[in-house]
Structure 1
Amino acid sequence: MRVYKIATIIVILFNVLACQDIVDDINDNDPNTISSVDGQSLFTGMQLADITAQLGYLNWAAGVWTGNFVGSGRFAPIQEYQYGNTNSDTPWFNIYVGVVQQARELRSGIPVTNKDFFFGASKVLEAHALGTAASMFGDVPFSEAVNADIPTPIYDGQLEVYGNVQTLLDEGIADLQTAATGGGIAEDLFFGGDSSSWIKAAYTLKARLYLEVGDYANAIAAAQSGISLPSESMQYHPPAVVLTGDTNLLNQFFTGSFPDDLTTEGGYLIELMTGAGNRNNAKTDEVDRVAYYFDGTQINLNGIAGVAEPMNLISLQENLLTWAEAAIRSNDFASALGKLNEHRANLRSGEHFAITTGIYDDYVDTDFDAGGIENVDGSLTRDEALLREIIQERYVSFFAELVSFNDLRRTKKDAVAIQVGVPFNTGAQHPERFLYPFSEENTNGANVPDITDIFIKTPVNQ
């Protein structure tokens, strides 16, 4: 793994030809030396790199595989399940150099004011990035990652990395509890230095990772301490400066030089919400969410892809729906239904998009019984019918988020009738992973797992 010590705050641009790039002045000084900067000066750049890793190329490609988008032009190969490993170079760089390298540098002994806050928040960011790396790629470097004395780090097992990330989150939470800062930290783009919000985001991330490995009891326990208010969601709030490209990333893509590379027209998501056999029923009318996502058939450049529209990284929606799914998988129907209805209450109150004529009434137990509105043909048990609705709600709620790709893969273990029925773009398999980057094979080839097929399941999904 080739790593560089970054001397200045990372500035992220989203180059149309490369889909995402870090500008040339990422290292204004010699990239192999450290200039005299304090730790908090690295923090904003770490956040920007994490935003790019979570919401950039991997997210767009995954969206094509999950039926959120249809790919053409540069994304035509992705539409056909063809993936070149050079596509992973920049996301990997953003994760390991942009986030992990700088997080560990921040905690290496350089000067840091508000030390407990920055140590804790940097651990949450590092866990976010490495959790995504493990989920997207499988086995990844952790224990020897970004160590200048180990130019060719080993790859730790995916499940081991999940465990190490949980430990990292626990350490971050402890630091943030000690810090107990309430704001006033300008370097923090997400929460302005509010330790409490970082702690809740960390617990929601813990719940996500526990859900991914099937540890439902711990997922519920973490969600109980997670995000409980919309204002606590970790989001990218674009500055909305069009001339400098500081806008919503979806807006950048769909208004860039190649706007036809992705479309929502013909995708499964829009079909599920508007087509024949759509998900509407007597208690659900998706008209307003549809209008927020789409301006007919294309993505709404004044809605979810608006110039200044916030983008979710770790959200209230995710916490409630993770809690709901973990509860029903633990045979707790009442708690699962309660959390689903709590989420629906937020929808009908307009917390996530404007409500005019949309309907999100509370469900009751009998709606999931044989013959109920969520189990009309009676083919499922009551618990199965509720699980199906929660999984489907996650799918429509996580439009243009990597969580949707995680869900598609891990729910393959469920009965077909419970899964979201995303059709195959070609063949009879959905992609299961991203390929390791060419840059890694070129510099750390002996340690890179020999995987050249995107249809090979990662260990957690086997």
Structure 2
Amino acid sequence: MKNKMNKIKGLALALFAMLISLTSCEGEWIDSELNIDPDAPSDVPMNLLLPGIQQSMGYNLMGNNSVRTNNIWMQIFDGVSRQSFTEARYQLTPADVNNLWINTYTEMMMNTTILVQKSRMEGSESPHYTGIGQVMQATTLGITTDLFGDVPFSDAFEGSRGNLTPVYDEQQKVYDTIFTLLDNAVPNLNSSENTFAVSGDVIYGGNLAKWEKAANSIKARHYLQLSNVLGNEAYTKALAAAQDGFESNADDYLVPFEDSNRNPIFQFMEQRGDIRMGATLVDLLVSNDDPRLEFYVEANGDGEFVGSEIGSQNESASAPGPAIAGTDQAVKLMTYSELKFIEAEAHFRLGQTTEAQAAYEAAVAASLLRVTGEDQSDWIASNLPGMTLESILTQKYIDGVGTNQPYADWRRTGLPSLELAPGAVTSSIPTRFPYAQNELDYNRANVPTVTITDKVWWDQ
């Protein structure tokens, strides 16, 4: 009887399996889309990839995971509690940069690689998307290598079936890649053979002329960054690139934020609030009656603009103001004022005093206008410090608040002069970020052995 029952059960199971097989073949048993995750599509069109990459650039490259840290080191901010206080004493671990590294390589560089690949596929050819992608890739790669040094690029982005342990390109090679990307972007942006018009561009709204200016301006930034390597050649090349760069504040390379997608420093202050404005910057603004003071610095509880001395944990000092941490404040990938400061320094270094003075004044005027919204010609006539290399770099430092450029320029030039923080855990201010813990866990054989006080290649 038992054997008979087992045979009946076996026959029933076989018939059930056959039924499933037949109905699944006819598509009537299981919905073919049942296991598709609508929040993780297998394919995303270019016009939806583009704004996601741009918002990630604004949030990660210019936000909490990068700018907050190096602006603390540059004494623009001061960390007054928790993680920010430890960073004010130069404690930055591989785990601390994991989010920055992962988001840079997935949300920005990998997605930009996909964007460019899609723009070259038969039937969807769009050199304009290609050019925009190349400018964004160069921008991201430039900031990343300036923070970390050698980074993976030429051996990366092969997907899950490719190389998961890419080698690190030496920074000199990375810089060559940046310039190649920008050189290739310009003809693509000017191409007349375009299948799809650009849409989804939250930075320039598809204005290709502005993207071309951005390409040349970023090129000028990175040529200047090589001044300790190339000498006068760097200044000459920076000036040549700048000729086709930004022409006014209207060309600024900005990522917008709004109430539903708030500025990253605003979000940080709302959620944690453990930074205050640094005394080095605040005292500089106060001493010169700088009109940018009330925009960069929020008055404290006593209605005063007070900076926190680095490492002092002064939680009653002023918080970041609306030009840094406003709810809908755009973040600066690069600006016209930065480009004019590049011209001012390059002309000054080449002994071209008249051109340097004109660029210096134009840079400060553009910065004041962008931050305050008003022409500040009277202040410039009465208060602008006389032009020296130090005044050019100091004014550029003020202009670059909330960006990575003060940190890049300080390493390259030593200006402005900054003192070591009390209680520092290193013998000098860090000159690079550590590599991410994920890289140490999964790609250790390729990760360069460095400390955060080792200099990157161009910092000679």
* TM-score, L = length of structure 2: 0.79
- Distance, in Å, in 2 between the alignment partners of 1:342 and 1:180 is 38
The aligned counterpart of 1:306 is 326
Q: Structure 1: any 5+ residue segments left out of the alignment?
A: 1-26, 368-372, 375-384, 413-418
Q: Is the 8 A contact 1:53 1:129 kept in 2?
A: no
Q: Is the 8 A contact 2:337 2:364 kept in 1?
A: no
Displacement of 1:240 in angstroms is 1.9
2:437 is equivalent to residue 438 of structure 1: yes
The aligned counterpart of 1:19 is none
Displacement of 1:292 in angstroms is 0.8
4+ residue stretches of structure 1 with deviation over 6 A? none
Larger Rg: 2
Displacement of 1:247 in angstroms is 1.3
The aligned counterpart of 1:393 is 395
2:280 is equivalent to residue 268 of structure 1: yes
* TM-score, L = length of structure 1: 0.79
- One-letter amino acid of the counterpart of residue 322, structure 1: I
Pick the aligned partner of 1:423 from 396, 419, 433: 419
Q: Within 5 A, what are the aligned runs for 1:34-49? A: 35-49=42-56
Give the root-mean-square deviation of aligned CA atoms: 2.6
Q: Structure 2: any 5+ residue segments left out of the alignment?
A: 1-35, 228-233, 299-304, 307-317
Displacement of 1:342 in angstroms is 1.4
Q: Within 5 A, what are the aligned runs for 1:195-210? A: 195-210=208-223
Q: Deviations over 1:198-246 (max 9, x none)?
A: 11111111011111111111111111111111111111211222xxxx1
Q: Within 5 A, what are the aligned runs for 1:161-172? A: 161-172=174-185
- Distance, in Å, in 2 between the alignment partners of 1:28 and 1:329 is 57
Task: Please say which of residues 105-114 and 123-132 is displaced more in the overlay.
Answer: 105-114
Q: Is the 8 A contact 2:247 2:336 kept in 1?
A: yes
- Distance, in Å, in 1 between the alignment partners of 2:56 and 2:322 is 25
More helix by share: 2
Tell me the SS of whatever aligns to 2:393.
helix
The aligned counterpart of 1:190 is 203
Q: Within 5 A, what are the aligned runs for 1:366-405? A: 374=386, 386-405=388-407
Percent identity, aligned pairs only, is 27
Displacement of 1:443 in angstroms is 1.2
Pick the aligned partner of 2:244 from 219, 225, 236: 225
- Distance, in Å, in 1 between the alignment partners of 2:143 and 2:267 is 23
Alpha carbons of 1:80 and 1:73: their partners in 2 closer, same or farther (altered >3 Å)?
same
Pick the aligned partner of 1:240 from 239, 247, 259: 259
Q: Within 5 A, what are the aligned runs for 1:260-299? A: 261-264=274-277, 266-274=278-286, 278=287, 280=288, 285-286=289-290, 288-295=291-298, 296-297=305-306, 298-299=318-319
Q: Is the 8 A contact 1:432 1:455 kept in 2?
A: yes
- One-letter amino acid of the counterpart of residue 139, structure 2: H
Task: Please say which of residues 198-207 and 143-152 is displaced more in the overlay.
Answer: 143-152
- One-letter amino acid of the counterpart of residue 172, structure 1: A
> May I ask how many residue pairs the two structures share in their alignment?
392
- Distance, in Å, in 1 between the alignment partners of 2:100 and 2:109 is 12
Q: Is the 8 A contact 1:207 1:220 kept in 2?
A: yes
The aligned counterpart of 2:60 is 53
- One-letter amino acid of the counterpart of residue 240, structure 2: A
2:371 is equivalent to residue 352 of structure 1: yes
Pick the aligned partner of 1:96 from 87, 105, 111: 105
- Distance, in Å, in 2 between the alignment partners of 1:30 and 1:101 is 18
Q: Within 5 A, what are the aligned runs for 1:254-265? A: 254-256=269-271, 258-259=272-273, 261-264=274-277
Pick the aligned partner of 1:249 from 264, 270, 280: 264
Displacement of 1:434 in angstroms is 0.2
The aligned counterpart of 1:6 is none
Q: Is the 8 A contact 2:72 2:87 kept in 1?
A: yes
Displacement of 1:454 in angstroms is 0.9
The aligned counterpart of 1:10 is none
Tell me the SS of whatever aligns to 1:461.
coil
The aligned counterpart of 1:143 is 154
- One-letter amino acid of the counterpart of residue 93, structure 1: I
The aligned counterpart of 2:457 is 459
Displacement of 1:438 in angstroms is 0.5
Alpha carbons of 1:390 and 1:37: their partners in 2 closer, same or farther (altered >3 Å)?
same
2:361 is equivalent to residue 341 of structure 1: yes
Displacement of 1:346 in angstroms is 3.0
Tell me the SS of whatever aligns to 1:192.
coil
- Distance, in Å, in 2 between the alignment partners of 1:80 and 1:345 is 35
- One-letter amino acid of the counterpart of residue 67, structure 1: Q
